[in-house]
Amino acid sequence: MKNFYILKTGTTFPSILAEHGDFDQWTVNGLETGGKRCRVVNVEGGAGLPDPGDCLAVVITGSHAMVTDDLPWSLEIEKWLPGLLRAEVPLLAICYGHQLLARALGGRVGYHPRGIETGTVEIRLEPEAAGDPLFASMPVRFPANVDHSQSLIELPPGSVRLAVSPHEPCHAFRVGSCAWGVQFHPEFTATIMRLYILAQEARLRDEGHDADALLAGIRETPVAGSILKRFALIAGLA
């Protein structure tokens, strides 16, 4: 039987982990499947990648690592991804995963010239999203929680840009018929987002950001969060 794999590419701040869990747990919660057929593969921790033929679908989590660090486990995922796409396995790549998917297919990733984007921001869908299997019927504008310093600088050839923000020129894209990258975090609750800003408060202030304003602007993001449940439906898990 094929499994729904969650590739864990990082771990949250220790202060968050102890009480609220980690990226993989938040992802399972967002899928709303009760963990049915979900298998977590801690790739950052050294676990091997599954054979594409054994995958019902795959989600790649976020990470505190940087794609351009070229860490060995990250490069292994990059090499593995084209085979997953050739097998037409549904894929949702989040934040770090979004950037990794893009680079694996010929896109370009790097530090955003305007620095970190964090907090609750407005996402705007591109016209192409209206006919997309994952984004169709979603509002053209919706809030999402974000936290990233690197960005997708250049889309991979043949991909379709689906969403942007005032800061970020590509918050979502699709390549092929069933592989998506999203820069925002559909798995983040308002509580998690608030804790992320608090954990980075000194850095944010040093870089000229108004941490108090960022905290005041945080809210729940159910439309962004629905991406996980939508993906579970596409994968046949829900």
Total-model pTM = 0.97
Q: What is the DSSP letter of 139?
A: -
- Helix, coil or strand: residue 85: helix
Q: Could you tell me which CATH class the domain 3-235 is placed in?
A: alpha beta
Local structure of residue 140 (DSSP, 8 states):
S
Active centre residues (catalytic): 95, 185, 187
Kindly tell me the burial class for residue 24, based on how many C-beta atoms sit within 10 Å of its own C-beta (0-12, 13-18, 19 or more): buried
| Tens-level pLDDT at each residue, the chain (238 residues) | 899 999 999 999 999 999 999 999 999 999 987 767 799 999 999 999 999 999 999 999 999 999 999 999 999 999 999 999 999 999 999 999 999 999 999 999 999 988 999 999 999 999 999 999 999 999 999 999 999 999 999 999 999 999 999 999 999 999 999 999 999 999 999 999 999 999 999 999 999 999 999 999 999 999 999 999 999 999 987 6
Beta strand spans in the chain (E): 3-8, 38-42, 55-60, 91-94, 108-111, 117-125, 141-148, 150-154, 160-164, 172-175, 179-182
Q: Tell me 54's DSSP state.
A: G
pLDDT in tens, 145-199: 999 999 999 999 999 999 999 999 999 999 999 999 999 999 999 999 999 999 9
Question: What does the mean pLDDT of the chain come to?
Answer: 96
- Contact yes or no for 185/12 (Cβ under 8 A): no
- Cβ–Cβ < 8 Å for 109, 150: yes
Comparing CA positions, the residue from 88, 79, 187, 179 lying closest to residue 134 is: 179
Between CA 157 and CA 110 the distance in angstroms is 17
Per-residue model confidence as pLDDT tens digits over 16-30: 999 999 999 999 999
